[in-house]
Amino acid sequence: MTIKKEEVVCLGIVLKTQSYKESDALVTVYFKDYGKMTLIARGVKKLKSKNAAACQSLTLSEFTFIPRNGLSTLIKASSVDFYRYLKEDIELEAYASYFMEFVLRNEEENQPDLDVFNHLKEALDALNHGYPPQLVYLLYNAYILKRCGVALQVDGCVRCLRQNRIAGLSLEDGGFVCLDCLSLRDKQLDKETLKAFRYINKICFKQIDQLKISQESIDQLIEIMDYYVDEMTGILFKTKKMIKSLEKL
């Protein structure tokens, strides 16, 4: 990232806020133009702070600051979208926290990527607009795999590349398996679920309205995608425990 000496104004999503000294806070933000950065928000814990609301975790805000390697000092901030609907629903907040945890743990400081910002914002917007959270979760998990360089093979058999007679999924090889290549180690699925699996791994959030998937297929796909993410990315998500506990209620 090119470091500038003058003030900049940039849109960003607050990933985490933690206490720093008596009245200050460290605010980790993923910026649209600057990537992941941590700002010192001085006096933000004071009752009269004008920046407090905009610096809360899970908030889309506009920040004024001077970009630096390491810690940058916040000048001012104003909230653009507080995602109040997500913060008032423990289940939705858990899914949103999962998306933010991925960005927080996977992305390097000062390495901007507009695709990362857009996918995070679109996932949060989809939750906030009332789309089924499990569907949004599936789409974001597909993005996680792509971002980690382990996108799944859904255009043909992962073993022989044939595009017809697809019968299941290989949990070891990461993708479709045709009837001829299907083994006892693979997971055989019905046509509806296989079709849904392909869509999940091919479309973007802007096409979410095209997804018409039964709850039975969604439940199967969540189990499968969770397995792929756990085994193929090496990331142990703390927020996943909360999601799993809520699913059992």
Give the pLDDT mean for 95-103.
98
The SS3 call for residue 56 is: coil
What mean pLDDT, rounded, does the chain reach? 94
**Confidence bin at 25 (pLDDT 50/70/90):** very high
Q: What are phi and psi of 132, to 5 degrees?
A: -55, 125
Domains of the chain, start order:
8-82 (2.40.50.140), 86-247 (1.20.1440.120)
pLDDT given at position 5? 66
Q: Which pair of structure tokens corresponds to residue 39? A: 């700002």
Has this prediction a pTM greater than 0.85?
A: yes
Q: Which residues, including other chains, have CB under 8 Å from residue 235's CB and lie 6 or more apart?
A: 102, 105, 106, 144, 148, 229
pLDDT given at position 4? 55
pLDDT digits (tens, 9 = 90+) for 106-135: 999 999 999 999 999 999 999 999 999 999
Three-state secondary structure of 198-244: HHHHHCCHHHHHHCCCCHHHHHHHHHHHHHHHHHHHCCCCCHHHHHH
Q: Which pair of structure tokens corresponds to residue 160? A: 């022989």
pLDDT digits (tens, 9 = 90+) for 133-188: 999 999 999 999 999 999 999 999 999 999 999 999 999 999 999 999 999 999 99
Torsion angle of the four alpha carbons 89, 93, 96, 97, in this order, in degrees rounded to the nearest 10: 180
